[in-house]
Amino acid sequence: MTSHRLASGGLIDRATPIGFSFDGRPLTGHAGDTLASALVANGIRLVGRSFKYHRPRGIVSAGPEEPNALVEKGRGPRREPNTRATTIELHPGLDAASQNRWPSLAFDIQAIAQFAAPILGAGFYYKTFMWPAALWERLYEPAIRRAAGLGRLSGAADPDAYEKAHAFCDLLVIGAGPAGLAAALTAGRAGARVILVDQDFRLGGRLLCERVEVDAMPGPVWAGEVEAELKSLSNVRILTRTSAFGLYDGEVGAVERLTDHLPVTPAGEARQRLWTLVPKRILLAAGAIERPIVFGGNDRPGVMLASAMRTYVERYAALPGRQVALFTTTDDGWQTAASFARAGSPLAAIIDARREVPEAVRALAGDVPVFLGARVLDAIGGQSLRAIDIVGDHGRRRLAVDGLAVSGGFNPDLALTTHLGHKPVWSDERAAFIPGDLPANVAVAGAAAGRFTLAAALADGARLGAEAAREAGHTPAETPAFRAGDEPCAVAPLFHVEGGRGKAFVDLQNDVTDSDVALAAREGFVSVEHLKRYTTLGMATDQGRTSSVNGLAILAALTGRTIPETGTTRARPPHVPVAIGALAGLHRGRDFKPTRLTPAHGWAKEQGAIFVESGPWLRAQWFPKAGETDWLQSVTREVEAVRAGVGICDVSTLGKIALSGPDVGTFLDRVYANTFSTLPVGKVRYGLMLREDGFVMDDGTTARLGPDEWVMSTTTANAGKVMQHLAFCHQVLWPELDVQMVSVTEQWAQFAVAGPRSRDLLEALFGPEADVSDAALPYLGCTTLALGPTRARLFRISFSGERAYEIAVPAGYGDALARALMAAGRDLGVTPYGTEALAVMRIEKGHVAGAELNGQTVARDLGLGRMLSKKKDYVGRLMAERAALNEASRPTLVGLKPTVAGVRLRSGAHVLPLGVPPTAEHDQGYVTSTAYSPTLGSWIALALVANGPARHGEEVRIHDPVRSGDVVATIVSPVFVDPEGARLHG
């Protein structure tokens, strides 16, 4: 038996001992323990060093409000900093370590900081490290980071998997204490769909921590019976180890810890599940958090919340001290006396700030010495509490104690109700913020509503559970009346004891003292929001659960205002820390977004393709052959093969939209800048689409395969955007047009067949019956032909500038088509080429693509101004006609060729006149696309240059400060290859 474990009682499994370690020291606890309770049972007081002053700290609470007992849990990549010992479920092999100490917890060199405390007050960093600025990065920040802060990140990738899930219900109950259980049971019995979440691993809340009875059953027994009944109801779902962390519009975010309590994560199991809960109604029954009192030395290990002391005794059978005094200003605090008496370790003294205490409360003390009208002035001790100085009607005296239970009242846990901007109101009667304005579908029950007795909690739960069930269309049989005590719960607020000698902490986690609050007030930071940011009070990961109200009460007293006049800060989600991994779920690394693969992807892989992301797709970038050592070699070979013979390229990724209906021509005339209503059947036309602001949105072709069969192609990157835009134009702008359209990108696999021998390849593919002659299929013609068991669409269009075709087959035949093209072209030396060769050839031809269609260019800039029809209205026409968009000085498309062969040009480099300094005022444009042109034997580029078309032949400076490039190039026509277009026609 460990030193501070009681011989009997508690809800731990004494038959299941659990070995764990803290700071490398092997210890034993039991199933049902938390790390904190196991440490208490082992008599361990000192668990960490504080954030700023490195003061020794112990466990303060028994729940998620814990500001002190933050530990690093786990090792290696699974090391997790700043986890609360009070919420870590003990499991075999648990390896926890204290934080923020060096070289050891007991001897921490930087604890010297506390003696420098007078200069480390609020605003210290703002005032001290202002000057010189140059020292910030080199000196101040690294030094501060070493001294302050808490745990260490592992620095390694998170090895665990996470998942997300959605669930829907009539009633979401947050908190499975008496109010939550009563609500879930009442609504569940009525047939409503209920989700009950609790952060704990066991249902019951305070029923597990107090000696209370419901329906004549001990609290834990009643909770167990309710749990059994809830589990028998198919309409009720219970999520334990689940923290509701945020209230969003109509939804609640919650994180379920699936494997954190297991020694080893089972293979394939997610560590945590991020829930989006979509409830019709929400019942917040999260209880209340006990409020500490601010007095000298109130952070000494051994000073603990009174309810937490009881929790360790009653639930965990662990004794937090053998000589424990109680400092209270509430009736509830006195219950601690009864718990300790039952545990055989009666309290040493009870100090109540009130002069009068009800007789029933007084009776809880038994024989313990009682000091009414008294206060604790100072807690004395270093790494453990040794004594307290009390002052009051009895005078001043010192009591030797090793523990101090503190009860300053209760703060209802209302954070979730404030996430959407609603504010709680202060109740003098309950000395607490209670629900005020609430979101429409949220109700609050029990202690969270400031109704602190057990009977009130149960009644609240039953009433609100029944109400929610009725609202969801269910009829509760009868609202149950649970029998429980109406224990005394009066509070006379006391936030702060002045006059102590030791430091009095308001915010334990961020090391903010009463004098910091006073300093802030003196310096004029009298708004609570300013106080918070100036002192960092309440800004730690505990979100000020134990500190905020005390801080603003002290500020109120200092500024002569009431608490309501002083106001509160707003809580924001997440209410508890959430691992980034849980928010990412499945979507990390390469799976951040889904990846689209073309029907012939497997074939390209067999060919050894190197793939590149292109929008959502993976496309073959080039196909290295044996012996090729770099990409440029492969790409150059592919370009030469196409220009000399024939190549094939998978273009299935281009967006394809089928259009039909009597008004397609009219519609296309309005969405394209050029005219389409005149397009005859069997023809393809290049089209330019503008945004309404006049800038170019996308380009592509539209083919008319039949009288009512149109197919538009878009760029790969803009496919989704164009579809959305067309739907906008149709549904929002011109719903009167009789047009039907749908994406057929997935239906068709499409290959470009390019090069002077491309027609020969088609003849071999389609066989002698098919007519693919220039008469039957001239440039910009299209047709449909039988191919194997299917029909193919054939378009004579070219991106490379060579005679070229695009052939489309239903996607299921895409793989077969690739193989058929290779087979049909074997004798022609057919070469598969990727997006790089495609890009080289389009740059050689001066065709614009994504780098030029960058959202900042108008048609004129791209040399496409003549495409803008003057005969019709279309999206973007009026805005494109603005004078400023038609000035010759705008950067306009040109070609660039370095004056020295072999010099490389780079995209993004700036274009400057020769002989001027490279400054912004001389900037005349920039390089958009570059390539090594095997046809010209030189690097070439497309660029947007002011007055570009008028400057062909001029030499300019291509300045690339980022990559230290400085090159002289000649402005030339953007069409480097075959400007007459002779090759297009073969």
- Residues in region 714-753 near other proteins by CB under 8 A: 720, 724, 727-728, 730-733, 735-742, 744-748
Q: Does 768 bind other proteins (CB under 8 A)?
A: yes
Q: Of the two residues 545 and 619, which places its CB atom closer to other proteins in the complex? A: 619
Can you tell me which of 92, 436, 661, 682 binds other proteins, judged by CB under 8 A?
661
Q: Does 908 bind other proteins (CB under 8 A)?
A: no
User: Please, are residues 105 and 98 in contact by the beta-carbon 8 Å criterion?
Assistant: yes
Q: Of the two residues 144 and 737, which places its CB atom closer to other proteins in the complex? A: 737
Instruction: Please list the residues that pair with 804 across neighbouring strands.
Output: 754
**Look-up of token digits 């002192």:** 535
- Separation of alpha carbons 404 and 400, rounded Å: 10
**Look-up of token digits 């609500």:** 183
- Separation of alpha carbons 918 and 539, rounded Å: 47
Kindly state the tokens that stand for 583: 């928010």
- Separation of alpha carbons 448 and 434, rounded Å: 7
- Separation of alpha carbons 677 and 570, rounded Å: 59
Which of the ranges 456-464, 537-545, 588-596, 849-857 carries the binding residues for other proteins, by CB under 8 A?
588-596
Q: Does 788 bind other proteins (CB under 8 A)?
A: yes
Q: Does 470 bind other proteins (CB under 8 A)?
A: no
Q: Of the two residues 669 and 815, which places its CB atom closer to other proteins in the complex? A: 815
Q: Of the two residues 276 and 675, which places its CB atom closer to other proteins in the complex? A: 276
Least distance between other proteins and beta carbon 820 (Å): 4
User: Please, are residues 111 and 120 in contact by the beta-carbon 8 Å criterion?
Assistant: no
Least distance between other proteins and beta carbon 378 (Å): 48
Q: Does 693 bind other proteins (CB under 8 A)?
A: yes
DSSP secondary structure letters along 659-706? EESTTHHHHHHHHBSS--TTPPTTEEEEEEEE-TTSSEEEEEEEEEEE
Which of the ranges 382-390, 446-454, 765-773, 886-894 carries the binding residues for other proteins, by CB under 8 A?
765-773
Which of the ranges 401-409, 875-883, 905-913, 943-951 carries the binding residues for other proteins, by CB under 8 A?
875-883
Least distance between other proteins and beta carbon 735 (Å): 4
Q: Does 455 bind other proteins (CB under 8 A)?
A: no
* Window 514 to 553, contacts with other proteins (CB under 8 A): none
Q: Of the two residues 59 and 673, which places its CB atom closer to other proteins in the complex? A: 673
**What contacts 831, CB < 8 A, 6 or more positions away?**
623, 637, 638, 641, 642, 645, 646, 647, 648
Closest CA to 758 of 937, 986, 428: 986
Can you tell me which of 95, 215, 251, 640 binds other proteins, judged by CB under 8 A?
251
User: Please, are residues 911 and 945 in contact by the beta-carbon 8 Å criterion?
Assistant: yes
What is the four-CA torsion angle of 412, 532, 500, 349, rounded to 10 degrees? 20
Q: Does 363 bind other proteins (CB under 8 A)?
A: no
- Separation of alpha carbons 745 and 43, rounded Å: 68
Kindly state the tokens that stand for 627: 């012996």
- Separation of alpha carbons 135 and 724, rounded Å: 52
Least distance between other proteins and beta carbon 803 (Å): 19
Pinpoint the alpha helices (H) of 769-858. 814-824, 835-844
Q: Of the two residues 162 and 426, which places its CB atom closer to other proteins in the complex? A: 162
Can you tell me which of 117, 147, 278, 851 binds other proteins, judged by CB under 8 A?
278
* x-marked contacts with other proteins along 557-576 as a string, rule CB under 8 A: --------------------
Give the burial class of 57: count Cβ atoms within 10 A of its Cβ; 0-12 exposed, 13-18 middle, 19 or more buried. Answer: buried
Kindly state the tokens that stand for 263: 């020694």
Q: Does 599 bind other proteins (CB under 8 A)?
A: yes
Can you tell me which of 815, 844, 852, 861 binds other proteins, judged by CB under 8 A?
815
Can you tell me which of 96, 309, 820, 862 binds other proteins, judged by CB under 8 A?
820
Own/partner pairs for 266-271, CB < 8 Å, 24+ apart?
Answer: 268/161, 269/161, 270/160, 270/161, 270/162, 270/163, 271/160, 271/161, 271/162, 271/579, 271/581
Can you tell me which of 51, 334, 410, 617 binds other proteins, judged by CB under 8 A?
617
E strand residue ranges, 822-866: 831-832
Which of the ranges 204-212, 267-275, 283-291, 862-870 carries the binding residues for other proteins, by CB under 8 A?
267-275
Q: Of the two residues 143 and 727, which places its CB atom closer to other proteins in the complex? A: 727
Q: Does 614 bind other proteins (CB under 8 A)?
A: no
**Look-up of token digits 């954190």:** 260
Q: Does 824 bind other proteins (CB under 8 A)?
A: yes
Least distance between other proteins and beta carbon 599 (Å): 7
Least distance between other proteins and beta carbon 986 (Å): 20
Q: Does 813 bind other proteins (CB under 8 A)?
A: yes
How far from chain centre, in Å, is Cα 126? Answer: 30
Q: Does 371 bind other proteins (CB under 8 A)?
A: no
Q: Does 471 bind other proteins (CB under 8 A)?
A: no
* Window 280 to 319, contacts with other proteins (CB under 8 A): none
Least distance between other proteins and beta carbon 106 (Å): 43
* Window 400 to 429, contacts with other proteins (CB under 8 A): 420-421
* Window 53 to 112, contacts with other proteins (CB under 8 A): none
Q: Of the two residues 37 and 598, which places its CB atom closer to other proteins in the complex? A: 598
* Window 920 to 979, contacts with other proteins (CB under 8 A): none
User: Please, are residues 620 and 611 in contact by the beta-carbon 8 Å criterion?
Assistant: yes
Can you tell me which of 262, 879, 936, 975 binds other proteins, judged by CB under 8 A?
879
Q: How many residues bind other proteins (CB under 8 A)?
A: 87
Q: Of the two residues 215 and 693, which places its CB atom closer to other proteins in the complex? A: 693
Count of residues in the chain: 986
Maximum distance among all alpha carbons in the chain? 116
Q: Of the two residues 99 and 718, which places its CB atom closer to other proteins in the complex? A: 718
User: Please, are residues 511 and 114 in contact by the beta-carbon 8 Å criterion?
Assistant: no
* Window 144 to 173, contacts with other proteins (CB under 8 A): 161, 163-168
Least distance between other proteins and beta carbon 195 (Å): 12
Q: Of the two residues 42 and 674, which places its CB atom closer to other proteins in the complex? A: 674
Q: Of the two residues 583 and 658, which places its CB atom closer to other proteins in the complex? A: 658
Q: Of the two residues 276 and 527, which places its CB atom closer to other proteins in the complex? A: 276
Q: Of the two residues 250 and 366, which places its CB atom closer to other proteins in the complex? A: 250
Q: Of the two residues 109 and 727, which places its CB atom closer to other proteins in the complex? A: 727
* Window 882 to 901, contacts with other proteins (CB under 8 A): 882
Kindly state the tokens that stand for 758: 């491309």
Can you tell me which of 112, 586, 962, 968 binds other proteins, judged by CB under 8 A?
586
Instruction: Please list the residues that pair with 246 across neighbouring strands.
Output: 253
Q: Helix 454-471 vs helix 178-189: angle between axes, to the nearest 10 degrees?
A: 30
Helix (H) or strand (E) holding 516: helix 514-522
A 10 A CB-CB count for 866 gives 9
921 to 21, 195, 312, 969: CA distances (angstroms): 66, 64, 72, 20
Which of the ranges 340-348, 403-411, 761-769, 922-930 carries the binding residues for other proteins, by CB under 8 A?
761-769
Q: Does 469 bind other proteins (CB under 8 A)?
A: no
* Window 193 to 222, contacts with other proteins (CB under 8 A): 193
- Separation of alpha carbons 837 and 607, rounded Å: 16
Q: Of the two residues 357 and 858, which places its CB atom closer to other proteins in the complex? A: 858
Helix (H) or strand (E) holding 467: helix 454-471
A 10 A CB-CB count for 575 gives 25
User: Please, are residues 259 and 463 in contact by the beta-carbon 8 Å criterion?
Assistant: no
Q: Of the two residues 55 and 725, which places its CB atom closer to other proteins in the complex? A: 725
User: Please, are residues 203 and 176 in contact by the beta-carbon 8 Å criterion?
Assistant: yes
